[in-house]
Amino acid sequence: MQTPRYAFFEGRIVPFAEARISVMTHGFMYGTACFEGIRGYWDERAGALAFFRLRDHYARLHRSCRILRLGLRYPVEELCELTAELARKNGDRADVYLRPIVYKSALQIGPHLNGVADDFTMLMLPFGKYIEAGGGIRCRTVSWRRPSDGMIPARAKVNGLYVNSALAKTEALEDGYDEAIMLTADGAVAEGSTENLFLVSDGTLVTPPVSDSILVGITRDTVLTLARRELGLPVVERRVDRTELYVADECFFCGTGAEISPIVEIDRRPVGPGKVGPVTRRVQALYLDVVHGRHPGYADWRYPVGIP
């Protein structure tokens, strides 16, 4: 028998079947919503789900809401407490994916944001690998471009923006690749469909700047912090040309879902020798140690919730 699942909806925890919106909901019709994607890692020894950088995700959700003129009445600490309550109610003793969403909840026609009621919901699901990286993934630079900050701001996780990601990912998959690489409107490297991108060149870790139409990723910040603090790697945030990817020694994606996903081929060109590189392996191993609580220095990044 399948275990009943619960969601937080309209101010209370309810069975999934009761967490429903109308077809006239503003956020559904116009994409006027913001969300976060958060992983919870099951810790068998502690009997707890440890949500990674939970407070940082909720702080970013509040920033997204300010951009989209959404009202989020719960402060960060209360959102963390609601997450813990929902986790205990669902009782998952395995890795999970948490998606909190703030959305325009009014039942009305018209895409304006001012004076439109909003609400908050949250769901949680068992979750494994988002990308089966294995020995590395193959990527294609797609024709779809990332919108600029003056179109749809990428620094906000706006639901409607992910149509852009869906078009890019679909193009890559239909052309036989695992993932898309997207460029800015003027041709600089931006990111994957739902991941930030890093390359390694002559021992330096390079990633596009936040001004180049990317999400200001929390996993990206984690990689930057660990690379500088733990691995002693020189790190540069700067504009990246498409052809730099073709001559890079290594490349990898990072994100909540993707974690650290090595890239071994781009546009039918091998990245370096065409296999996972040593820097990527070091970053990946350290990241997994941190999120699973095997590294003693980053306990404050984990928010443990005991599961009965």
Q: Which of 129, 157, 169, 275 is catalytic?
A: 157
Q: What is the dihedral of CA 285, 287, 289, 295, to 10 degrees?
A: 120
* CA distance linking residue 270 with residue 277, whole number of Å: 12
Q: pLDDT at position 128, please? A: 79
Enumerate residues 6+ apart whose C-beta is below 8 A from 187: 241, 242
Q: What is the pLDDT of residues 46-74, one digit of tens each?
A: 999 999 999 999 999 999 999 999 999 99
The rounded percent of the chain whose pLDDT value lies above 90 is: 95
Rounded to an integer, the average pLDDT of 18-25 is: 97
Statement: residue 2 has pLDDT above 60:
no
Active site residue 275: no
Mean pLDDT of the chain: 96
Tell me, yes or no, if the pTM score tops 0.85.
yes
Enumerate residues 6+ apart whose C-beta is below 8 A from 308: 88, 91
Statement: residue 115 has pLDDT above 60:
yes
Statement: residue 142 has pLDDT above 50:
yes
Residue (of 215, 197, 205, 165) closest to 262 by Cα position? 197
Domains along the chain? 6-126 (3.30.470.10), 137-291 (3.20.10.10)
Confidence of residue 1 (pLDDT cuts 50, 70, 90): very low
